[in-house]
Structure 1
């Protein structure tokens, strides 16, 4: 985990062939939120992308390096005090021996916060 104690995984389950559902709990007391932004904490987009990478590494049991991103859409702000629990849908497919393609939808309650597609290279 790049940011120590930033989040905990409540569940990570394989729901179909290449589809996974993860539930995570954000630590609203983490230092990141004191600077982003004081008095109005918002989850940094780069932290969301790191969480997706770390979950994908756990699923593939392999260290990964982000090769490309496409269709990245931040659709709602995540305030960890209001909505500390996030649900991440991951479609993880190996497209070549060393490449993994991931499609993600991240939600809180019924609100979609992030959609993205990315390709990781196994290292």
Structure 2
């Protein structure tokens, strides 16, 4: 299941080769937030990882799978109530199998997730 336009919506994109910043809105009416947690919605880490993967696929134009995750730090709680819009910043480095992806989900005040891993084509 792709999360775009269900869990998040892309508002803006700044792309420079294999570097990009996607400005996204977290969609509070998503079923994920109704279950995680009702009345106090929190963005699950796995959904943040999927958002990063989908933005990487958009940047490369390729279907990607997560090969390895070397770092995934949840540094603050993201929520559509607390941070309705965030930036997904990506840097991709080509490899034989796909890409090394370094990413961050953040707004002007805090970083919510830092990620580094390999995604394969």
Q: TM-score, normalised by structure 1?
A: 0.90
1:13 is matched with: 14
1:59 is matched with: 59
Counterparts of 1:77 and 1:109, CA distance in 2: 15
| Partner SS for 1:32 | helix
Write the deviation string for residues 13-33 of structure 1: whole angstroms up to 9, x where unpaired.
Answer: 224x43211100011111111
| Partner SS for 1:46 | helix
By how many angstroms is 1:108 displaced? 2.3
Gaps spanning 5+ residues in structure 2: where? none
Superposed, 1:4-83 pairs within 5 Å as 5-15=6-16, 17-83=17-83
Superposed, 1:83-122 pairs within 5 Å as 83-96=83-96, 98-122=97-121
Write the deviation string for residues 64-119 of structure 1: whole angstroms up to 9, x where unpaired.
Answer: 111000121000001112211011110011122x3211101110232010001010
Write the deviation string for residues 24-57 of structure 1: whole angstroms up to 9, x where unpaired.
Answer: 0011111111110122110011100001100101
Gaps spanning 5+ residues in structure 1: where? none
Root-mean-square deviation (CA), in Å?
Answer: 1.4
